[in-house]
Every structure is written in structure tokens, then in C-alpha cells.
């Protein structure tokens, strides 16, 4: 699933290439992807003619603010990613007009396409069809219970160490599970929880209440470090995620433990292990990340 860095990379791409463009049409072969309003015809009627004002991110949601006080919310879920370009419909398939990154097999599952006034398109590729698209009045979105339940953003300028400690205060459970709870901290998923814990030398099963002040500080710094570095590298693309040009991110080259079971720890050369709890795999170095 695209996590904070991948979603931010997508948002950055939209702001660079799609701002001030106007929607002139919408196509979909999977109308269930539209969750609000439920009726695709109504969705299409409202969105045509709307101009893209800006894109931003909240947790793992892409938000595109439109004219007339509307906002488009897109959650890419497990395998979805937004793409920008131009396609032609040939033999019941959308084929990129030009050869290049959009030819990547992971980019071929187009289920909704927004046609823009400059002849380009903004499309959503999603092999498993889990993504969701919602059209909101902007104020209603900002005041929705869904938004109000989201925790603080770890890359906000005011997300201090004190705010990090406050978010974790009195939380029970394993630290990795808590880090991935969007009601506690926004945007962190399995990839970056594993990576941050490796950098901080903390075992993923360690209970939050047992973390020392020093460990909390190291973890706070590690979370910010790995998220910022991944954004610099365009996110992680060892699975489905691609940027809006269809290309891969480069964080895979710096991934320390996630999906590296059996490989040597880059810090101490001990074999990386995998354990499973709460239905998710966790990757760690048993020498660097000792469960005390």
C-alpha cells in the first residue's frame, strides 16, 4: 500500500503537472470505485467543469481541491496509483500514446480516467480494485469524522518530540502496531514502521510503555529521517506503486529490513528475521533490535 512518502510523491507530481487544469470528462469501467456520491452519473455531472486548485495529503489520502469549494479525495489503498499522461483506447484497452514509463505492466489497470482541458489525462491504475474516490464539499470533508480521527502528521513543522511523546503516551501494545495506527500518527504503514524501528534499534514487539526517553527520541528521529529520505527518492516501488509519470521510486535501494528476510543486516551482518503478529509481517535484526 502506498504510505506517506508515496502519497506525498504523488501529490508533488500533481502540483507540478496538473494545477489549474479543468476536468472535461470522466470515464470508468468500475463505477464502484466512486464512493461519494454513489451514483457515477451524479459524480460526473458535478466534477465536469471543475478546475484543479491544489493537491495536498492527509495521512494516506490524496486530496485535490477544486473550484466551487469541492475536494476530490482519492485513497489508493493496496495497489492503486495515480498516473498522468495520454492514452488511446485501442481494442478495448487503454494504450499510452508514447512509449516510456507508462508502459510498465503495473500501470495497465486503468479503472477511472479524468480528461483534462489540455488533452492530457489523470488516471488511476489499480490491479485489485480496492481504491476509493470521493467527491466532497471542501468544508464537509475537513469537518468529517473520518478526518477528525486522523492523528498528527509526522512531517509537519510543529510535530515536535514532545508531540510525538504525547501521541504515544499511555498507549498499550507493541510499538510497531501503535506506529501504524493512523489515529495515533498519520501515514505510517508496514514499510516505514519496520525501517524506522531498525534505525532506532528497537524491536517491533517491544511494548510502548517500556520505551525509555532515549529510545523514544531515537525513534522520533528515525521516523522523520526515513519518511523524508523516501520522499527525496520518490518512494518505494518494489511492488505496485509508481509515480504519476509511471516511473519507479528509488527507496528500494536504501531499504534496510523490510522484505529482506534472510539477508545480512547492513549494520552488523546478522541475518534479518521475519516474525508475524497482528496479521502483519515484521522484519528486524535480532542483534541490533534486541527484545529486552
Catalytic residue among 3, 134, 195, 236: 3
Cα–Cα distance, 72 to 14 (Å, whole number): 13
Is 60 a residue of the active site?
Answer: yes
Is 132 a residue of the active site?
Answer: no
Greatest alpha-carbon span in the chain:
61
Return the H-helix or E-strand segment holding 38.
none
Is 2 a residue of the active site?
Answer: yes
Q: Look up residue 114 and give its three cell numbers.
A: 479524468
Catalytic residue among 57, 60, 132, 206: 60
3-class DSSP state for residue 91?
coil
Sheet holding 110-116, edge to edge: 23-28, 110-116, 121-126, 80-85
CB atoms within 10 A of CB 290: 12
Q: Look up residue 110 and give its three cell numbers.
A: 486503468
CB atoms within 10 A of CB 194: 27
Helices first, then strands: H and E counts in the chain: 8, 13
Cα–Cα distance, 147 to 8 (Å, whole number): 17
Cα–Cα distance, 175 to 181 (Å, whole number): 10
Cα–Cα distance, 216 to 206 (Å, whole number): 12
Catalytic residue among 17, 228, 229, 280: 280
Q: Active-site residues: which are they? A: 2-3, 60, 280
Amino acid at each position: 500500500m502506498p504510505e506517506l512518502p508515496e502519497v506525498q510523491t504523488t501529490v508533488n507530481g500533481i502540483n507540478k503537472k496538473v494545477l489549474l487544469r479543468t476536468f472535461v470528462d470522466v470515464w470508468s469501467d468500475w463505477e464502484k470505485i466512486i464512493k461519494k456520491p454513489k451514483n457515477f452519473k451524479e459524480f460526473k455531472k458535478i466534477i465536469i467543469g471543475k478546475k484543479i486548485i491544489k493537491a495536498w495529503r492527509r495521512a494516506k489520502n490524496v486530496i485535490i481541491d477544486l473550484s466551487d469549494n469541492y475536494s476530490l479525495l482519492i485513497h489508493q489503498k493496496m495497489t492503486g496509483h495515480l498516473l498522468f499522461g495520454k492514452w488511446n483506447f485501442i481494442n478495448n484497452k487503454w494504450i499510452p500514446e508514447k512509449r516510456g514509463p507508462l508502459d510498465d505492466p503495473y500501470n495497465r489497470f486503468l479503472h477511472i480516467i479524468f480528461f483534462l482541458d489540455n488533452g492530457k489525462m489523470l488516471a488511476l491504475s489499480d490491479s485489485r480494485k480496492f481504491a476509493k474516490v470521493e467527491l466532497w464539499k471542501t468544508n464537509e470533508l475537513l469537518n468529517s469524522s473520518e478526518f477528525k480521527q486522523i492523528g498528527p502528521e509526522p512531517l509537519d513543522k510543529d510535530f515536535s518530540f514532545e508531540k510525538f511523546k504525547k501521541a504515544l503516551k499511555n498507549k498499550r501494545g507493541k510499538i510497531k502496531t501503535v506506529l501504524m495506527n493512523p489515529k495515533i500518527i498519520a501515514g505510517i504503514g508496514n514499510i516505514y514502521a519496520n525501517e524506522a524501528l531498525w534505525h532506532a534499534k528497537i524491536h517491533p514487539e517491544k511494548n510502548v510503555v517500556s520505551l525509555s526517553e532515549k529510545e523514544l527520541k531515537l525513534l522520533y528521529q528515525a521516523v522523520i529521517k526515513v519518511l523524508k529520505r523516501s520522499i527525496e527518492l520518490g518512494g518505494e516501488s518494489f511492488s505496485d506503486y509508481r509515480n504519476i509519470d509511471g516511473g519507479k521510486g528509488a527507496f528500494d535501494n536504501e531499504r534496510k529490513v523490510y522484505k529482506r528476510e534472510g539477508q545480512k543486516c547492513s549494520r552488523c551482518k546478522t541475518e534479518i528475521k521475519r516474525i508475524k503478529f497482528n496479521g502483519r509481517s515484521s522484519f528486524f535484526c535480532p542483534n541490533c533490535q534486541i527484545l529486552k
